[in-house]
Amino acid sequence: MSQETLVKRQFGHRARLALAPAQGLKTDNQAHVARTMWNLLHGWWQMMPKEMRTLANADAAIRQARDDIDFLAALPAQAAQAVLKTYFQTWKNCWEGRADAPSFKGRFRTVMSVDIPQGRDLNITRVHRRWGMVNIPKVGRVRFRWTEDLPVGKRTNPENRITGARLIKDALGWHIAFRVQTLEAAPSPHQGPEVGIDVGVTVPIALSDGETYEHGEWLTQREQAKLLHLERRAAQRKQHRKPGERTSRRLHHTYDRIAGLRAKAKRRALDWQHQTTTAITRAYGTIVVEALTITNMVKSAKGTIENPGKKVAQKSGLNRSVSREAWGRTVTMLTYKTARHGGTLHKVPAPGTSQRCSACGFTTPGSRESQAMFSCKNPDCGWSGNADHNASRNVLHLYRMGLALTPAAGRAGVRRAKRVKPATAR
């Protein structure tokens, strides 16, 4: 029997929970206890000498705290262990230069979340086409929106399973993010054409073959008017608050409604990005993008008192537009989706791609007439066309000239497994 290479793929799937009021209170309590556990660990870490900061000592301190403080028992023991491991992993990332040092988590500045490290505790079942049921420790059976097939049931391959989950609360309510692991055949090399991509503000995604992907406003006119009304109401109520006075419940309620509308806009933007990047990775085998340093692009232009910046308001508006398009998230989606479909993703240097003529290759002053039009000022050329289309053609040309900064995208999120018979992958 022929053999084929199987790869282990790990990904996440997020679904909306339908919690009853009592279940919502229990989940909120667990999230507050998880945050408290983190803060207690951080305080313990600062008090202990270096030679005492070990995982075993921290585990003993957590167990003692759960015995001494009653309300800490609301968090399951496995979730408390997950907080401990995450805290130590954060310090490890800090020592290796990948993250900042951990700090205390504030009540209103921290995303409420609870980890469920054991997948066997979830006991997921599908009720019907739209809903499923999941078991949350110390909360009970909860319904969730079934929008993607999950590896559950007796007929599922044992290699395909849910390894854990995480409960996350945003402005729209509680959600559950499943950690899914599957074993599947390695994708065959994508035979699609090559394409260069230019990202922008006016045209979010422009391809070198002339295709463009655009979107409108994420909120309807009615929702935008409502958001503006709520922001004005919040500013007015904030003016009447005395210095040092606690925020009123009415103002908190207004802030919650503002956050709900913004979360709705972000969810629609994410959906558009997922659909667009999926369509691109299915159609093209080689995708070339610019290596943008977005953090430098969105820096403030205020300057200093001695040397103030120019056109600060215009730069601030541009920074908001760049951040709203989330170019980095688009590249991240393209990276793992190209690997899943057998394609490759390359990055090329970004300087000069928007000023260079894609027809003659010369950079002449004033060729970029506007945000949308490019007209080459070279007398021997005179090519004119869409500026974003011109930039995407330059991006692809740099790759074909061998100026790619990174090789094939690898198998992002995919780990190679041993050779097994195809029958085991069913």
Per the listing, tokens 């309590």 go with 29
| Eight-state DSSP code of residue 72 | G
Mean pLDDT (whole number) for 157-171: 88
Q: Flag whether 383 is in a domain.
A: yes
Q: Are residues 120 and 108 in the same domain?
A: no
Overall number of domains in the chain: 3
**Is the pLDDT confidence value at 425 over 70?**
no
Q: Read off the tokens for 332.
A: 């991240």
Residue 80 confidence (pLDDT): 92
Q: What is the 3-state secondary structure (H, E, C) of 111-152?
A: CCEEEECCHHHCCCEECCCCEEEEEECCCEEEEEECCCCCCC
Distance CA 116, CA 119 (A): 7
Q: Are residues 281 and 408 in the same domain?
A: yes
Percent of the chain with pLDDT over 70: 91
Confidence band, pLDDT 50/70/90 cuts, at residue 323: confident
Residue 44 confidence (pLDDT): 92
Residue 303 confidence (pLDDT): 66
Residues 193 and 199 sit within 8 Å (Cβ to Cβ)? no
Q: Centre a 10 Å sphere on the Cβ of residue 314 and count the other Cβ atoms it contains.
A: 10
What's the pLDDT tens digit per position in 253-263? Answer: 999 999 999 99
Domain termination site, one of 89, 114, 139: 114
Q: Are residues 155 and 61 in the same domain?
A: no
Domain termination site, one of 79, 114, 149: 114
Q: Are residues 204 and 351 in the same domain?
A: yes
CA-to-CA dists, residue 134 to 127, 144, 170, 175, angstroms: 10, 7, 19, 12
Q: Which of 231, 238, 239, 233 is nearest to 262 (CA)?
A: 231
Q: Flag whether 420 is in a domain.
A: no
Q: Are residues 26 and 68 in the same domain?
A: yes
Q: Flag whether 175 is in a domain.
A: yes
For the stretch 28-45, what's the b/e string if a residue is b when 16 or more beta carbons lie within 10 angstroms of its beta carbon?
A: bbbbbbbbbbbebbbebb
Residues 411 and 337 sit within 8 Å (Cβ to Cβ)? no
Higher pLDDT, 357 or 38: 38
> What residue type is 46 in one-letter code?
Q
> pTM of the full predicted structure?
0.80
Mean pLDDT (whole number) for 294-315: 70
Confidence band, pLDDT 50/70/90 cuts, at residue 154: low
- Domain range for 298: 194-215+266-415
Residue 314 confidence (pLDDT): 74
**Is the pLDDT confidence value at 83 over 90?**
yes
Domain termination site, one of 142, 162, 183: 183
Q: Flag whether 1 is in a domain.
A: no
Q: Are residues 122 and 202 in the same domain?
A: no
Q: Read off the tokens for 147.
A: 């929008």
Confidence band, pLDDT 50/70/90 cuts, at residue 208: confident
**Is the pLDDT confidence value at 1 over 50?**
no
Rounded to 5°, angle at Cα 176 from 175 and 179: 150
Mean pLDDT (whole number) for 42-67: 90
Q: Are residues 206 and 142 in the same domain?
A: no
Confidence band, pLDDT 50/70/90 cuts, at residue 155: low
